[in-house]
Structure 1
């Protein structure tokens, strides 16, 4: 694969990394061993048995219309043990972010940075004031509730967002602190807790605040099943809130906004909950092992994470964009540099957690980084080794 091809791919997708499909098409036959560290995915779910069932029913799934949203919502509510009147389903969490912005954000929104880009980009596109609260690198991008609340009140923000765990650093705020955050801001128009990666948290049991959201007048909790289940391709997310907020969101969504594949997976969940829980345990072990491998490079800074990805800061001699191209061309690894995230630079990279065999290829790429011409010897990477315990819960 030519260097010019990779540069073109990354330039064409400046706002986000190129998709697995676009990279695979560009690579041609070489794509057979392409490994994706870019999109954080659950590699252990669905199981092979579940994929087999989906393949058996693929003709029916593709040929017929899905059920309407209410039927699928009732099924998911039963699995989650929530009132269906408190759930809205959407074609990915980004669809929900779009409608939250259009329906519930009138003038201003507070967002910590760095975080998931749509929380800043979407309201800016619709002319809202975005109050950005900078998470400090010196504090490992830790969000401190009292400082964030004081910032929101000082700025006069009417809506506040908190991603937990945060993307791209994987920082986690204990459940009691998130509840305190919601209570401190009970006078706001809206508080959104984005829990897209909360199922990967190992630091405490039952980290979600969804049950608390349904009894509060101004709180929405956002979820992403695509990320949790390793099925980004079906584009599926949902929100949990009190019935009044839920009706407002649901009323704006198209009647058939979910596809039949998403419906099929949701109806399989009740029988495969144990396999899903096992997949989370396997991924937590992979996160620990991958963190352990990366911190062996003493010039890398590896941040503690409770999500299914790790944020890494490269040494000053390396640029993330060039490093992404190198890993793709020389090792067939698709990776993500964070230069397009507000609050970060291209010196930062986010690696999705992957199984040992793929991590070995990433480690090999790190050892051979001198071939970029950035340094005369293999990269020596500086880490926060003392953070290992925090990163593994």
Structure 2
């Protein structure tokens, strides 16, 4: 526990639907005193050797223009995700591609909630979204049969699935996803976000190998999450639909990714074994963290197929109250999920930061749940 409370710029939490960055809320001089369990990452990749290689290349890279031929970067990426290069489009983060897909291809989209807020916000402003509330009593698990029936009843031609879910972490098997896609072939577009799928099993249960079988399928993935490089702003989509590809290409600017990101892509093939060893290490860490969290009284811990875990607070404080105390008193930053549509104010999300740091989180949550907050009135149902 930290003796002197950490000072926080609390107003920043009200100015965005996304979590404010740690450096903004505590200041650069306090970064070494806080562990960011809010930010979802792969803590083991890129490794030190690759980081040193990127550092050495930096003076050349920042003085160069990116390539004007996107197929070169697509080939680098295709070599590790096992897709056809012409089926891939690389974006300045997945959010660039999400925005383009929604603007260019979506008339009205069905979206299960809770979900990643970026999918809702822009569509809500244009009135192009219908929300499908996931049941709290079933830990917000998406039942694909119920979802398919709802989509058909609502006469929607576009649907979103995030697998594993964000912020829920709930995972849908490849077998069930393929059955859903087969049933919904009549729809115009099924958008599947697989940003966390690499943490769902030793063998990655992605739809990418099946993309040619479904002309209405677009897969979106954020490399910030599974590669741990959010600052490079890399994401990609994969589809066999030539009309979709052409419409997205026509909107992308010629130099939409920078030279540092391009250089990183050229290193993926040579570090592929290192990457898979890293993601499997994350999977093991998350399993251990999940088991440890389940031993703490006062929380409902949701099953996860990702590198983060959703918890419901059962003993009194709101997610915001708990977030602030963890941050100020323990130097632990977690995600308050109160502003996620479809969730109440008693959910937090935590990501794994490696076993040593995860112990700090477990210790802090256990202390607060067994001592301080037991004195507070219990939350009303």
Pairing 1:350-369 to 2, within 5 Å after superposition: 350-369=349-368
Deviation at 1:243, TM superposition (A): 4.5
Deviations 1:347-383 (A, max 9, x none): 0000011212211211222233279964339x99xxx
SS in structure 1 of the partner of residue 8 of structure 2: helix
Given that 1:109 and 1:159 are in contact with CA atoms closer than 8 Å, whether structure 2 keeps it comes out as yes
SS in structure 1 of the partner of residue 323 of structure 2: helix
The residue aligned with 1:110 is 110
Q: CA 1:277–1:364 in structure 2 vs 1: closer, same or farther (change >3 Å)? A: same
Task: Provide the rounded CA distance (Å) in 2 between the counterparts of 1:153 and 1:160.
Answer: 11
Deviation at 1:195, TM superposition (A): 0.6
Pairing 1:367-382 to 2, within 5 Å after superposition: 367-369=366-368, 374-376=373-375
Given that 1:86 and 1:242 are in contact with CA atoms closer than 8 Å, whether structure 2 keeps it comes out as yes
Using the size of structure 2 for normalisation, the TM-score is 0.93
Given that 1:326 and 1:372 are in contact with CA atoms closer than 8 Å, whether structure 2 keeps it comes out as no
Using the size of structure 1 for normalisation, the TM-score is 0.90
The residue aligned with 2:265 is 266
In the alignment, structure 1 segments of 5+ residues that lack a partner are 381-393
Deviation at 1:258, TM superposition (A): 0.4
Deviation at 1:4, TM superposition (A): 6.9
Given that 1:114 and 1:135 are in contact with CA atoms closer than 8 Å, whether structure 2 keeps it comes out as yes
The residue aligned with 2:237 is 239
The residue aligned with 1:184 is 183
In the alignment, structure 2 segments of 5+ residues that lack a partner are none
Deviations 1:302-342 (A, max 9, x none): 01001010000012411111111111111212210100101
Task: Provide the rounded CA distance (Å) in 2 between the counterparts of 1:50 and 1:3.
Answer: 34
SS in structure 1 of the partner of residue 80 of structure 2: helix
Pairing 1:44-63 to 2, within 5 Å after superposition: 44-63=44-63
Deviation at 1:346, TM superposition (A): 2.2
SS in structure 1 of the partner of residue 14 of structure 2: helix
Task: Provide the rounded CA distance (Å) in 2 between the counterparts of 1:303 and 1:347.
Answer: 13
The residue aligned with 1:324 is 323
Of 42-51 and 310-319, deviating more is 310-319
Q: CA 1:358–1:3 in structure 2 vs 1: closer, same or farther (change >3 Å)? A: closer
Is residue 95 of structure 2 the alignment partner of residue 94 of structure 1? Answer: yes
The residue aligned with 1:216 is 214
Given that 2:168 and 2:310 are in contact with CA atoms closer than 8 Å, whether structure 1 keeps it comes out as yes
The residue aligned with 2:85 is 84
Deviations 1:261-301 (A, max 9, x none): 21111100110001001001110111011111111112210
Pairing 1:167-206 to 2, within 5 Å after superposition: 167-202=166-201, 205-206=203-204
The residue aligned with 2:226 is 228
Deviation at 1:223, TM superposition (A): 1.3
Deviations 1:127-172 (A, max 9, x none): 31x2211111211211111110000000111101111111111111
Of 119-128 and 337-346, deviating more is 119-128
The residue aligned with 2:76 is 75
Deviation at 1:121, TM superposition (A): 1.5
Given that 1:303 and 1:311 are in contact with CA atoms closer than 8 Å, whether structure 2 keeps it comes out as yes
> What is the CA RMSD across the aligned residues, in angstroms?
2.1
Given that 2:282 and 2:352 are in contact with CA atoms closer than 8 Å, whether structure 1 keeps it comes out as yes
Of 2-11 and 357-366, deviating more is 2-11
Task: Provide the rounded CA distance (Å) in 2 between the counterparts of 1:164 and 1:5.
Answer: 33
